[in-house]
Amino acid sequence: MPIVPKFARPREGDRGRRAGPASTVGQVKGFASDNNAGAHPEVLAALAEANAEHATAYGDDPWTARAKELLRAHFGKQSVSYLVFNGSAANVLCFRALCRPWQSVICTAQAHVNVDEGGAPESLAGVKLQAVQTHDAKLTPEHVEWQLDRLGDQHAVQPRLVSVTQSTELGTRYEPYELHALAHFAHERGLLLHVDGARLANAAAGLDVSLREITTDVGVDAVSFGGTKNGLLMGEAVVFCDPVHAEGFAFLRKQTLQLASKGRFLASQFVALLEGDLWRRSAVHANAMAARLADALLSVPGVRLTQPVQANGVFAILPPGATERVRADWRFYTWDESTSEVRLMCSWDTTPAEVDAFAADVAHAGETARTGA
Ligand SMILES: Cc1ncc(COP(=O)(O)O)c(C=O)c1O
């Protein structure tokens, strides 16, 4: 018998005020969030295997050693990585490591760090966020330049870090040359580049490049590399592409309450994700489901896509009246109440049948709303 929380509200890092159905367990899967998917069976198998014996705590175990080795293989042999429980902590820890108290982080207005981390960057990392309005959740060197007019002025907060999200909160992604341009510009002006890579795997899969080619190779300094949205039970990695930025990080992680005692259970999941091609396989699948969903919705009269579909999310405006009708059977969020834009996320376990059934329901709901039948 599934347990149905009575008064649960939308979660998964999504703002509660966004319209969506109450959380339920056992309901049809839907497109609310890639965090709503469970853990991949290969990850669960790796966890079971790591559970067989005792192992030394706090990361001094063979799984952590192997996970770090794999992260070096994926991000460059000079890189240094640390595992943490969740993505907000990975971001906050990057900010703590890279910024001093008088410094700031330039990000987009849509950035998760700006709108979905409960003020943790400001409160826990003690940095000011300089949020830039963009139409596609992507920063350019020009956006950054506009924030630098008071560099060296002791009365003004001093920008230190540019933080971009790859793939972005609006399902768009940066090309490698765009990241390279940002890194080059940031470094020229004495700043560093951080990537919130909660969905880095989806970007790499979509671009058909390695993780390294969109981070270390283009000049990124630090990455919050996501595992949870790509099939882990939980777990993210903080990756410093250049070890110089990792100094003291073990102490910061402990002080920020992110050092797992049974570290092997974070690490064994990363081993499962990175040893073979699970990270890419899952991301390719989620992206393919989003592309299929976008295609199917585009054939429905009255549907408009609001962003290019470049990862595992589809942002769209559905035909008048359709959103509320399909919401009875499907989970998803209204992203922008003012335009009725909805966000539809696909995950490693989204099936073609679910995509097709949802699109058919949107078509039916749109037709019903139009004809009043
Ligand atoms: C872009 C982005 N960054 C980071 C996170 C990590 O959030 P959490 O702290 O919930 O793991 C999320 C999750 O929704 C996200 O979408």
At 7 the pLDDT is 28
Ligand 1 atom with least separation from CA of 168: 1
Residues 138 and 168 sit within 8 Å (Cβ to Cβ)? yes
Regarding the beta carbon of 169 and ligand 1, being less than 6 Å apart is answered yes
Residues 249 and 19 sit within 8 Å (Cβ to Cβ)? no
To test ligand 1's pocket by mutation, which of 86, 107, 114, 116 has the most ligand atoms within 8 angstroms of CB?
Answer: 116
At 1 the pLDDT is 34
Residue 13 Cα to ligand 1 middle (Å) = 6
Residue 314 Cα to ligand 1 middle (Å) = 17
Starting from the edge strand earliest in sequence, which strands make up the sheet with 341-345, in order? 304-305, 313-317, 341-345, 333-336
Q: Average pLDDT for residues 194-203, to the nearest whole number?
A: 98
**pLDDT exceeds 70 at position 269:** yes
At 298 the pLDDT is 97
**pLDDT exceeds 60 at position 12:** no
Residue 56 Cα to ligand 1 middle (Å) = 29
DSSP states of 192-220: EEEEEETTHHHHHHHHT--TGGGTGGGT-
- Give the model confidence (pLDDT) of 26-70 as tens digits: 566 799 999 999 999 999 999 999 999 999 999 999 999 999 999
Regarding the beta carbon of 61 and ligand 1, being less than 6 Å apart is answered no
Q: Is the pTM of this model over 0.85?
A: yes
Ligand 1 atom with least separation from CA of 196: 3
